[in-house]
A and B are shown apart, each in its own frame.
Chain A
Amino acid sequence: MKEQRETILQAKSITKKFGKVTVLDDVNIDVHQGKVNVIIGENGAGKSTLMKILSGVYSDYDGEILLNNKVVNFSNPKEAMENGIAIMHQELNLIPYLSITANIFLGREITNQFGILSTNQMHDKVDELLKRLDCNLSPRTLVSELRVGEQQLVEIAKALLEDAKVIIMDEPTSAISDSEVEVLFKIIKNLKTQDVGILYISHKLDELFTIADRFIGLRDGKMVGIIEDVRNTGKEDLIKLMVGRNIENRFQKEILPIGDDLLGVENLNLIQADNKARYLLKDINFSLKKGEVLGIFGLMGAGRTELLETLFGLYPKLSTCKLTIEKKEVNISSVQDAILNGLALVPENRKEDGLVLQMDVSKNISMVSTDRVIRNGFLNKHLETNLARKYIDSLHIKLSSEKQLARNLSGGNQQKVVLAKWLANQPKVLFLDEPTRGIDVNAKNEIYHLISQLASKGLGLIVVSSELPEIMAISDRILILSQGKITGEFNRTSANEEAIMQAATST
């Protein structure tokens, strides 16, 4: 074996901005041939953006990418693939009702001189590729019949067809079973001997040690360190590399007296819709008091959003839970029930789930509390305008008039409209799912202050966030979720970044 492996792909001084936000700041990394190069970093560290630049999804960036010491600039993923860089996405991009062969040859089908597909020739080629991966699936199998792990093999085979020199794998083990993970790792080792460079992203620190050859740490869009000596590295070293993010603002929620029991959750379970044997959430127990801000932290796929959605009555058929509100047992089997019991949910994706973008702001604000703007059975413009103005003023929503369409507001102001919609219904418990995602620093700060202010009025708040500094700044208490289970609980004094990350990565 060669001692010194060659660098096959290099990123030099890569900087990428979205508007005013710098996502990657002067990042230098190199991918070694025949090695598993692992990128670690918290959610939002810039890993996905970097992968998208390397695989040609984003062609607009500062800096240089060198492939075999030659500068390249891919304008699309197809071009990157043709040059030997393949990406295996978290969500697989396969067409379910086509065969494995048809998927692998999609867009580069072999045809004869009459333009008719040379099906047998393609099947033979795919058969050969699958054999190389120690896989005995028939090339004629429909992708819809494959399990997720097998679908990943198809993606890898697709990369091999193009003679990929680098394969980027984004969280490849997040959706597959343990035995499938073993198969995948065997294939990865196999690919290494064929001199393919693997660029691997994962949050599952434990499994990384069986596969990684080197670690590259990203934090706040900056490269923070490389560990080449994997053997003498422990989990603590990786966590140190991940945490310690800078916060632009040093907001800290003030400590306020906490009131009576508000919400009690006992034995909450949620099963997966298409695989009833798999638990997305298991044995969740916790409580929330009036005036308390409970933070929920977890890495991608931990079940954070699902927890809020289950409590909000979105999965009545898949979940079980004993729920008490103000010490009275309640049954919530629909969103309507949840709202009647004083719950409110500000969802993660405000554009997809929070707002009707083509409606004006006042109509969006009165969406939940429509009954409040009805007089004599009819919607009353005057009442509706007043309600909207009240919240536009108190939340400092910046707009020209309450008749402005929601789509024309900035992200921060849109988020405030969603908040206003729920506050107008005067809830007792407010669930906030990633309340500051994609909004600027000032709006973030305003939302932190608002959270604090609502708590001081006796509301109970549950805030899900994947940003560690944020969750520490706003929470009175923090629950840690990992793979559907609570793996840690911290209060103000016991919370520190490393301990939280330790809990979030444990199984």
Chain B
Amino acid sequence: MTTVKSTLIKFQSIIALFVMCVVLIILSDKFFTVENGWNIARQISINVCISVGMTLVILTKGIDLSVGSMLALSGAVAAGLLKYGLEIPSMNTYVGFTVFGAILAGLAVGGGLGVFNGWMITNFKVPSFVATLAMLTIARGATMLWTGGFPITGLGDHFAFIGTGWFLGIPMPVWITVIVVILAVILTTKTKFGRHIYAIGGNESAARLSGININKVKIWVYTIAGILAAVGGIILTSRLDSAQPNAGMSYELDAIAAVVIGGTSLSGGRGSIMGTVQGALIIGVLNSGLVLLNVSPFWQQIIKGLVILLAVILDRLNYANED
């Protein structure tokens, strides 16, 4: 009995996903098609990238509200550098960027913003909620400044390949996401760094007394979250062939939702990357299904909110006797 129960708990996300798919296959003949499958995969790939970073942050008992804005700024920086290059009038220089160079610059922006988040949180003891809330508006403002409030479009075929191309029959965003997920799974389960993330989230005081450098680990975690937001930003910009100043608005909420539905505890130390991937899949399938079933967008939001609540309540019930 107990083993049946614990197995059910262990696979509850997969079971939920399976049930949803079966229901949608019965209700809609458009759901179970190859085309729709790739559609869902492409749509969730950006959320998965961001959510992976968010998972690391939440495992350390933190939160990162700035991922949507970091996504926008790094996408815009990559697009802008690619299209216009960098002009420094005071030094009378002009630097042109290749696709590769522009992407690297975008990632560096994400990473840099993440370092800043981590530095605020560790060095000045600013709560992560506040530090990343500030970054949410700072990076959004910077995006507006950089773009002048207008989209940057016409980025060329090479750049567009990242978001729209196919490789070995699989869309590029899916490739990127799969690589991100594999690296993150290795990082969290097979490395000392990953172990330290869980230890800090589980009991920061015990981790400190065990000689773990808490600040270093936390700064890295926010940095990775920033870099992964930038990865999402580059995929999005490439797919739309346009860096929108308001790209990624409220993406942080979808990411937190995926992490929470995937069973990672907001109080830190418990959860997994694969759980988050399942959470993102549940949200993706739900979105797609509700659209196919012609559910009104207003109802879609309400249903999504209820699913988040349900996931957390289930989680609470499962771990009730631990608290």
Contact = CB atoms under 8 A, between A and B. Distances in A.
Contact of A421 (B186, B189, B191, B210): B210
Nearest to A374: B192
Interface string A363-384: 1000110110010011100000
A335 B198 CA distance: 19
Interface string B186-218: 100111101110110011011111111100000
A407 B213 CA distance: 24
Contact of B205 (A312, A352, A368): A352
Contact of A356 (B194, B207, B211, B213): B207
Interface residues of B, number: 24
A353 B191 contact: no
B191 A379 contact: yes
Given A335-B208, A339-B211, A354-B209, A370 B195 contact: yes
Given A359-B199, A367-B199, A379 B192 contact: yes
Contacts of A345: 209
A355 interface: yes
B322 interface: yes
B270 interface: yes
Contacts, number: 67
A336 to B, nearest CB: 5
A336 B213 contact: yes
Interface of B: 186, 189-192, 194-196, 198-199, 202-203, 205-213, 269-270, 322
What 9 pairs between A and B have smallest CB-CB spacing?
Answer: A356-B202, A339-B211, A378-B190, A356-B203, A367-B210, A353-B205, A370-B192, A335-B211, A368-B210
**Residue among A345, A347, A370, A377 having the largest count of chain B Cβ atoms under 10 Å:** A370
Contact of B202 (A359, A374, A378): A359
Contact of B209 (A347, A358, A379): A347
Given A339-B211, A356-B269, A368-B211, A363 B195 contact: yes
A358 B269 contact: yes
Contacts of B195: 363, 367, 370, 379
Given A353-B206, A367-B206, A374-B192, 6 more contacts: A339-B211, A353-B205, A353-B209, A355-B203, A367-B212, A370-B192
**Residue among B189, B209, B212 having the largest count of chain A Cβ atoms under 10 Å:** B209
B202 A336 contact: no
Contacts of B202: 356-359
Contacts of A357: 202-203
A4 B85 CA distance: 97
Contacts of B210: 335, 367-368, 421
B208 A354 contact: no
Contacts of B206: 352-356, 367
B191 A378 contact: yes
A349 to B, nearest CB: 9
B12 to A, nearest CB: 19
A336 B209 contact: no
A104 B189 CA distance: 52
Contacts of B186: 378
**Residue among B189, B192, B213 having the largest count of chain A Cβ atoms under 10 Å:** B192
A355 B198 CA distance: 12
Interface in A366-414: 367-368, 370-371, 374, 377-379, 407
B136 to A, nearest CB: 28
Interface size class of A (residues with CB under 8 A): 20 to 34
Contacts of B209: 312, 335, 345, 347, 353-354
A387 B317 CA distance: 34
**Residue among B189, B206, B207, B212 having the largest count of chain A Cβ atoms under 10 Å:** B206
Interface in A308-366: 312, 335-336, 338-339, 345, 347, 352-359, 363
Contacts of A363: 195, 198-199
B322 A358 contact: yes
Contacts of B269: 356, 358-359
30 contacts: A312-B209, A335-B209, A335-B211, A336-B211, A336-B213, A347-B209, A352-B205, A353-B206, A355-B203, A355-B206, A356-B198, A356-B203, A356-B206, A356-B207, A358-B270, A363-B199, A367-B199, A367-B206, A367-B207, A367-B212, A368-B210, A370-B192, A370-B195, A374-B192, A378-B186, A378-B190, A379-B191, A379-B194, A407-B322, A421-B210
B182 to A, nearest CB: 14
**Residue among B192, B199, B211, B213 having the largest count of chain A Cβ atoms under 10 Å:** B211
A253 B249 CA distance: 67
Nearest to B213: A336
B203 to A, nearest CB: 5
Contacts of A371: 192
A359 B195 CA distance: 10
A379 B190 contact: yes
Interface in A408-445: 421
A363 B190 CA distance: 12
Contacts of A377: 191
Contacts of A356: 198-199, 202-203, 206-207, 269
B122 to A, nearest CB: 14
**Residue among A312, A338, A356 having the largest count of chain B Cβ atoms under 10 Å:** A356
A359 B211 contact: no
